[in-house]
Amino acid sequence: SSVCVHGLGYIGLPTAAMLATHDHDVYGYDTDGVLTAALREGDVKLDEPGLEALVVRALESGRLRAVDDVAAAEYHVICVPTPFDEERREADLDYVADAAQAVGSVLREGDTVILESTVPPETTEEHLRPLLEESGLVAGRDFGLAYCPETVLPGNIIAELRENDRIIGGVDDRSATAAVRLYESFVEGEIRTAADPTTAEFVKLIQNTARDVEIALANEIARIAHDYGIDSREAIAMANAHPRVEILQPGPGVGGHCLPIDPWFLGVGSDSLDLVPTARAVNDGMIGFVVELLEELLSDLDGKRIAVFGVAYKGNVDDTRMSPGLELVRELQHEQKPSTPATDGGAPDTPGVAIHDPHVVDSTLRLLDAEDAVAGAHAVVITADHDEFTELDPGRLRGLMAEPNVVDTKGMLDVDRWRNAGFDVRRV
Ligand code: SAJ
């Protein structure tokens, strides 16, 4: 079939390439002309294992074309960002609206439109549908309309795109059947149809909310364990030996563009959120706990230099959206304000805070290599579990630091090795 994929980010680009390598003729459309031009040269800016190879293969086959104008196609798959508007406490659906308008301009009878972006319940029916019907065509009668959430894990996108189960909610049976036909061409997992798009939207949100709440429990356990002088990771590992207990791992909080946001989408049309916002607050509060651990080591943070290792939102990705590492940088800059004021725009270049991240490329951050970051520092804090950090040589770092302290928020360092090298170690 012919497919136009709208939005070539972390989801749209791999989806477009996957479809193109499964015999579809794919137009990859993005409003960012710089991005599409780079793609035509085979230049993939996202740090995702296997993505560049897949995209290059798709481009070389001639079945994937990165285009600057929306193309007519039998299927339109919308994969645009849906940020959370903090002030209005609602989803920002502007990109969805723009995509709907683009689709509407080329929509024909018999085409099928599929929304993949994460959205509050009822968005497909109440928001997208009327925008598309401005074309004069009617959903369910003249064209198909379905919601099919992506569920892939950054860092493992290509495998999960193929292997994960999918949920499809169509506005009617024909829409659902048409959407199923597209996904079954490359999905090896099970494809399930939900009663309607709203149910499918809800399912996606409760998946991410479940994970957020489960991580909050792990984080709260870590704080309680700390009060008792217990190693929380050891305790959790033992607890998990029970056949019906599966506690997740504590850390510096929950980052990314999904888990910190999706629980709020759930509450856009409901007053029944109670546990969920509390869990959010627990996760957001973990940076405060990390600062407490630093204060245990240094008593006073003022005038101290802290090296923050990992400003990606999690290990082995380059994405810094809502990252705990950056949140810590801001918090430390704030703590140190009197002697070392932060510059405007939140650009973390306070002399008291140094940043190192082997995955992140970001010209607005002053990123240093590991040794420059620890030079003269009083503590290192690990805030993302990048594989590279297991290779750090504590003996060598110690020689460069003002004081040998480390806070490992991800429990990834070999504690004995760091202690033997003279470090005072704290772990979340
Ligand atoms: N984290 C912990 N402890 C854990 C697991 C994760 O603190 O035990 C933290 C991570 O460090 C990170 C955050 O949680 O800061 C989120 O990481 P993640 O790997 O759990 O998930 P994401 O945000 O990368 O991707 C999630 C996934 N959702 C679920 O697993 C239910 C993914 O499958 C979704 O497709 C994605 O959100 C999305 O796009 O919605």
pLDDT, tens digit, for every residue of 190-220?
999 999 999 999 999 999 999 999 999 999 9
Instruction: Please give the share of the chain, as a percent, with pLDDT higher than 70.
Output: 97
At 347 the pLDDT is 39
Structure tokens at 37: 């031009």
How many A from CA of 259 to the centre of ligand 1?
6
251 lines ligand 1 (CB under 6 A): yes
Q: Which CATH architecture has domain 2-197?
A: 3-Layer(aba) Sandwich (3.40)
Which amino acid is located at 395 in the chain? G
The string of pLDDT tens digits covering residues 244-292 is 999 999 999 999 999 999 999 999 999 999 999 999 999 999 999 999 9
Q: How far is the CA of 157 from the centre of ligand 1 (A)?
A: 12
48 close to 15: Cβ distance less than 8 angstroms: no
Q: Where in the chain is the domain with CATH 3.40.50.720?
A: 2-197, 284-427
Q: Is the CB of 10 under 6 A from ligand 1?
A: no
Residue 228 pLDDT more than 60?
yes
CA dihedral 365, 367, 388, 257 (to 10 degrees): 0
pLDDT for position 335: 81
Q: What is the pLDDT of residue 18?
A: 98
Looking at residue 340, its pLDDT comes to: 45
The structure tokens listed for 286 are: 């973990």
Q: Which CATH architecture has domain 284-427?
A: 3-Layer(aba) Sandwich (3.40)
pLDDT digits (tens, 9 = 90+) for 35-72: 999 999 999 989 899 999 999 999 999 999 999 999 99
Q: Which of 79, 148, 258, 410 is catalytic?
A: 258
pLDDT category of residue 178 using cuts at 50, 70 and 90: very high
CA distances to 97, 277, 327, 369 from 350, rounded to whole Å, are: 40, 32, 14, 16
Residue 134 half-sphere exposure toward CB, CA atoms < 13 A: 12
Q: Which of 4, 79, 148, 204 is catalytic?
A: 204
Tell me how far apart the alpha carbons of residues 207 and 275 are, in angstroms, rounded to a whole number: 15
Which residue, by CA, sits nearest to atom 13 of ligand 1? 254
* Pair 180, 112: CB distance under 8 Å: no
- Mark whether 45 is an active-site residue: no
ipTM reported for the complex surpasses 0.85: yes
Residue 323 CA, closest ligand 1 atom number: 15
299 alpha carbon to ligand 1 midpoint, in Å?
33
Task: Identify the pLDDT of residue 175.
Answer: 98
Q: Establish whether 4 is a catalytic residue.
A: no
Q: Provide mean pLDDT across the span 113-126.
A: 98
Mean pLDDT over each residue of the chain, to the nearest integer: 95
